Amino acid sequence: MKVSLLPNCFLIAALLLVGPGCDAPVESFPDNDVYALTLAHSRDVPTEAASRDVSSVIEELFGTPNQPRWPSELMDPDLRISEQNLTRAAGPQLSEKDGTHLGLFREHCVTCHALSGSGAGPASVFQNPYPRDFRPGVYKWKSTQRDAKPTRDDLTKLLQHGVAGSGMPSFSLIDPDDLDALVDYIVYLSVRGETERELMAAAIDELGYGEDSIDDDARLVTQGELVTQGETDGAAVIREVVEEVSNQWASAESEVVPVPAWEELSGETLAASVNRGKELFHGPIANCVGCHGKGGQGQAVTLDYDDWTKEYSTRLGLTPTDRDAMRPFKKAGALTPRLAKPRKLTLGVYRGGGDTDSLYRRITQGIAGSPMPAVAVVEQEDGTGLTSDQIFDLIRYVQSLGPQSTVPQSEFNYQSSTP
Ligand code: HEC
Ligand code: HEC
């Protein structure tokens, strides 16, 4: 016997009287209409034919919200995702007699991240930053290089800890097997969403889907049949895209940024390191002060957006605050661009971890999808980057700024030595 519980999202949607994502039928995933519109804008071609065919390819490959599918035959074999886990995480919220939980994503995540992982769930409207859109495959809080995917371990830790200072809650109380199923489901939604985007772009740019008539050889779907097995250009493009997207996920482990050995300092050596870090923070190479303000107080005014919303605004030459320009995108389901604010470091709130290893990775990689740039690591001081020792000085300074800092604050108050 199965016990059905009312999906949270319907409750919340009813309370808020808003409901993108929840009132949509769950027989199929909603298409990425915002990306289609973005392509139509940037390529100046119609995208209806591409949307239609890509939509049926994606459903054939990845199934539906109630019956997910993992096309392992086309995937990098090193990317292992359990179909059993996907089934547990997908579908409506249910409990099996033996206590197995089903429908985990709709129980815990859909109100914010939405059914397709677009991040535009009913509760997203009130948040800044917005819940992540998994479909571009860009993640901020990870141990890997800026452009790389997070590892399984990164995603597991993220779910356990949540993202401090954002709407993303901690799921530390969830059963470890459920957590594992959710990690598989994030990868699933991300690979599915990236494949959809890449196929849309390839359909327009490589297969001529923006033209008046499409070559038979270029078609992604022929007479309602999927062509992945065939010898046509359309079939080759589908295989290439899935292979490439899955390969990036499979190689995440090899992209972990190694952190050089560092020393735990105290007393005068710590004070001296913090002071060197303060100089670097306000100096021209790292120029942290340019965004985080003097003493990391977040007073600098920066008017920038994150990559998820820039894609359909500034990168198309549109002004994010221009309501008329944004209207068609909003109608297609886009979230209103909101400023990506540099962190006020004196709060000592770290979304991706305030420990030395995490901060080393944050500073040397920057934060993917956000305006925060990377600082280059150099062997010898040459004016283009910082040595790893200097980066540890900078980290000790940043760590000294927070309220719970064990470094005595009064000794390191910012004195105006730089203009
Ligand atoms: C109340 C809203 C909310 C809920 C519920 C929620 N999230 Fe999030 N999630 C967020 C927000 C907001 C962010 C963006 C944080 C940021 O940009 O720093 C986020 C970010 C993420 C990220 C990306 C982190 C990164 O490194 O970029 C993942 C993965 C994620 N959430 C997974 C989940 C999963 C899985 C669930 C359900 C178990 C879930 N979230 C539930 C709001 C939520
Ligand atoms: C171009 C602007 C910019 C510059 C320059 C910049 N940052 Fe940032 N920084 C940001 C933004 C924006 C965020 C918030 C990102 C987010 O939470 O999505 C951020 C966040 C951070 C965080 C918080 C990380 C976390 O886990 O929450 C730290 C620490 C940080 N920056 C340190 C630095 C240091 C040190 C430097 C100099 C080497 C620096 N930043 C330079 C824009 C910048």
Q: Which of ligand 1's atoms lies nearest the C-alpha of 182?
A: 35
Both 84 and 232 in one domain: the answer is: yes
pLDDT tens per residue across span 47-57: 999 999 999 99
Both 190 and 281 in one domain: the answer is: no
Both 271 and 236 in one domain: the answer is: no
pLDDT at 63 over 50: yes
What residues form DSSP beta bridges with 95?
3, 101
Averaged pLDDT, 73-101? 93
Establish if 318 belongs to a structural domain. Answer: no
pLDDT tens per residue across span 14-62: 444 444 444 445 789 999 999 999 999 999 999 999 999 999 999 999 9
Establish if 330 belongs to a structural domain. Answer: no
Of the residues 231, 255, 279, the one at which a domain ends:
255
pLDDT at 161 over 50: yes
Averaged pLDDT, 382-398? 97
Statement: the pTM of the whole predicted model exceeds 0.85: yes
Measured from the CB, is residue 140 less than 6 Å from ligand 1?
Answer: yes
Question: Looking at the 3D structure of the chain, how many domains does it have?
Answer: 2
391 neighbors 255 (Cβ within 8 angstroms): no
Of the residues 225, 255, 285, the one at which a domain ends:
255
Establish if 190 belongs to a structural domain. Answer: yes
In single-letter form, the type of residue at position 115 comes to: L
Establish if 128 belongs to a structural domain. Answer: yes
Vertex 9: Cα angle to 8 and 10 (nearest 5): 95
pLDDT tens per residue across span 254-266: 999 999 999 999 9
Both 17 and 140 in one domain: the answer is: yes
pLDDT tens per residue across span 112-145: 999 999 999 999 998 999 999 999 999 999 999 9
Reported confidence tier of residue 9, pLDDT bands at 50, 70, 90: very low
Closest CA to 362 of 251, 248, 259, 252: 259
pLDDT above 90 as % of the chain: 82
Both 131 and 268 in one domain: the answer is: no
Establish if 243 belongs to a structural domain. Answer: yes
Establish if 316 belongs to a structural domain. Answer: no
Q: Which of ligand 2's atoms lies nearest the C-alpha of 395?
A: 35
Vertex 114: Cα angle to 175 and 112 (nearest 5): 70
Residues with CB under 6 Å of ligand 2 are 129, 140, 286-288, 290-292, 302, 340, 342-343, 345, 350-352, 359, 362-363, 367, 370-373, 375, 394, 398
Mean pLDDT score of the chain, rounded to an integer?
90
Both 279 and 184 in one domain: the answer is: no
Averaged pLDDT, 97-121? 95
Helix ranges, 6-151 (H): 8-16, 33-43, 48-62, 83-89, 104-108, 110-113
Reported confidence tier of residue 226, pLDDT bands at 50, 70, 90: confident
Reported confidence tier of residue 416, pLDDT bands at 50, 70, 90: very low
Measured from the CB, is residue 350 less than 6 Å from ligand 1?
Answer: no
Measured from the CB, is residue 166 less than 6 Å from ligand 1?
Answer: yes
* pLDDT, position 4: 40
Both 168 and 277 in one domain: the answer is: no
Vertex 94: Cα angle to 66 and 171 (nearest 5): 95
What residues form DSSP beta bridges with 4?
94
Structural domain including 369 reads 258-304+343-419
Measured from the CB, is residue 188 less than 6 Å from ligand 1?
Answer: no
Both 274 and 370 in one domain: the answer is: yes
Both 220 and 97 in one domain: the answer is: yes
Both 266 and 162 in one domain: the answer is: no
pLDDT tens per residue across span 341-377: 999 999 999 999 999 999 999 999 999 999 999 999 9
What residues form DSSP beta bridges with 63?
68
Establish if 368 belongs to a structural domain. Answer: yes
The least confident of 66-70, 179-183, 224-228, 241-245 is: 224-228
Rounded Cα–Cα distance for residues 408 and 391 (Å): 20
Both 183 and 211 in one domain: the answer is: yes
pLDDT at 414 over 50: no
